[in-house]
Amino acid sequence: MDVDGHVLKLAHESDCCNHCGKSFWAGARYVNERSIGIEIVNAGDQPFSDAQYESVLRLVREIHAAYHPP
């Protein structure tokens, strides 16, 4: 996700990407197989932009709805 909130999809949700590296969480190993990574552009010396917050909230809602329909 860019600073202006633009979202670029680099992989399909069913693809396994190595965004977590070697990982362990809630009893599960290799979290990459069980997660969807969202990368947000930021050099680390500035706060996230309002556009990034808005886009990440929208994106998380869309992903949640796709995987946990009512």
Q: How far apart are CA 41 and CA 56, in angstroms?
A: 12
Q: pLDDT by residue (tens digit) across 26-70?
A: 888 888 887 888 899 999 999 999 999 999 999 999 999 998 877
The pLDDT score that the predictor gives to residue 41 is 95
CATH classification of 1-70 is 3.40.50.620, yes or no?
no
Could you tell me how many residues make up the chain? 70
Q: Measured between alpha carbons, how far is residue 33 from residues 18, 25, 41, 54 in Å?
A: 9, 12, 23, 27
The dihedrals phi and psi of 29, each to the nearest 5 degrees, come to -100, 160
Any idea where the domains of the chain sit in the sequence? 1-70
pTM of the model: 0.77
